[in-house]
Amino acid sequence: MVQISDCHLFASTDGRLLGLNTEDSLQLVLDCVAREHSHIDVILATGDLSQDGTQVAYQRFSRHLERLRAPSYWLQGNHDLTDPIVNVLGGRSHLSPCLIEQGPWRIIMLNSSVEHEVPGSFQPSELEFLRSALEQTRGCHTMVCLHHHPLPMDCAWLDTQVVSNAADFWAVMDDFDHVRALIWGHVHQESDRMRRGVRLMSVPSTCVQFKPNSHDFAIDDMSPGYRWFDLYPDGRIDTVVSRVEGVKFEVDFSVKGY
């Protein structure tokens, strides 16, 4: 399974985020994915797929993924708009909220975004979907996928964007003991830790990276990347973050926000 996130594509292929051409960087990350994996079962795209929410950007994103020859499931990020995504996907079956069956595993995609707002918040219907999906998946190893982080990253400026009703989310999660992992995007940096037996992981952006443990907005000099997972029948998870190598990316480190 492959997770890609925070691609920030524009209507124009010349679009740049903080000086970086996001079209070029996505293609380089997908080149890396194609080199490293001869077979992929599922692609999880965990939000901010477009920077400007345009249908043409989502159309191009979909065409980029076709080269990997695997079904993809998408999450809305805070920069995304649902209607143009639905138009491109031809319906909502591959858009959160949804439940994916993959062998002995179940993957729950949950929408944490509020259109035209940066911080996340779960609608009551999303939390109801989560509880129902977790009830359905008892007996299966389960992964939950979000866009926003549901707990602090020790990065002060980013932590103002933690899901506002994260306590309600955790109240549902803590009622079940078969969740093995929780993953998210949004933070443009990798992390990997544990909470009550659940592995919690974030993924790099396919474009600009944010500097970990920063008090104010700061760009990191790490390269774009993605995360891959091997999910085993006994609940074990192997996962690695892989980044583009040998490329000098043009990033404007003087910018103090976006």
**pTM confidence score:** 0.96
Write down the pLDDT at residue 138.
96
pLDDT tens figures, 6-35: 999 999 999 999 999 999 999 999 999 999
CA distance 45 to 39: 17
Write down the pLDDT at residue 120.
94
Write down the pLDDT at residue 254.
80
Which among 166, 26, 147 is positioned nearest to 77, based on CA atoms?
Answer: 147
Write down the pLDDT at residue 199.
98
* Residues of the chain below pLDDT 70: 258
Write down the pLDDT at residue 125.
97
Write down the pLDDT at residue 208.
96
Chain centroid to CA 9: 14
Write down the pLDDT at residue 252.
80
CA distance 242 to 230: 14
Distances (CA, A) of 137 to 131, 164, 243: 10, 26, 33
Which among 202, 164, 205 is positioned nearest to 49, based on CA atoms?
Answer: 205
Task: Count the alpha carbons within 13 Å of 134 in the hemisphere toward its beta carbon.
Answer: 24
Write down the pLDDT at residue 253.
78
Distances (CA, A) of 235 to 106, 179, 231, 240, 252: 11, 9, 7, 17, 42
CATH number of the domain at 2-243, please? 3.60.21.10
Q: Which one-letter amino acid corresponds to residue 163?
A: V
Task: Count the alpha carbons within 13 Å of 227 in the hemisphere toward its beta carbon.
Answer: 25
Taking each helix axis from N to C end, the angle separating 166-173 and 124-136, rounded to the nearest 10 degrees, works out to: 10
Write down the pLDDT at residue 186.
98
Helix (H) or strand (E) holding 134: helix 124-136
Contacts of 10 (CB under 8 A, 6+ apart): 16, 22, 23, 50, 51, 52, 54, 57
